[in-house]
Structure 1
Amino acid sequence: MAGLVGKLGAFLKSPEGKRLSQQVQRAAKDPATRRKLTDAVAQLRSKGGSGRR
């Protein structure tokens, strides 16, 4: 598993990884995107517990 973490770290240091990281950070700050994510998580939580006992 340490190999995967190392590869992820190397990717995030690359130009493509930095660009992707900045894109994700901008999306996370957008109120519309945050609302969509909050709604999606709430929907998954409500559906996820219905079949378990």
Structure 2
Amino acid sequence: MALMQRLTAFLRSPRGQQLVDRGRRELAKPENQARLKQLATRLLSRRR
């Protein structure tokens, strides 16, 4: 449980918020969305 508390505290800190915002900006880019879709397709095809 201590790990979750530390993670939550970090994400609420200014540095954590910067990382969250950067992640959201990166995920909004079409090329990154395409990469994630390809990765998901590969992972799902391995399961079958």
Q: Give the alignment's TM-score, normalised by structure 2.
A: 0.83
Q: Which runs of 5+ in 1 are unaligned?
A: none
Shift of 1:19: 1.0
Q: Percent identity?
A: 29
Q: Which amino acid aligns with 1:11?
A: F
Root-mean-square deviation (CA, aligned residues, Å) is 1.1
Aligned-pair CA distance for 1:8? 1.1
One-letter code of the match for 1:19? Q
Q: Give the letter for the 1:38 counterpart.
A: K
Which has more helix, going by share of residues?
2
What letter corresponds to residue 26 of structure 1 in structure 2? R
How many residues align? The count is 48
Give the Cα separation in 2 of the matches to 1:39 and 1:33.
10
Is residue 20 of structure 1 aligned with residue 19 of structure 2?
yes
Structure 1 stretches of 4+ with a deviation exceeding 6 A read: none
Listed as ranges, the gaps of 5+ residues in structure 2 are none
The aligned amino acid for 2:23 is V
- 1:7 offset after TM fit, Å? 1.0
Greater C-alpha radius of gyration? 1
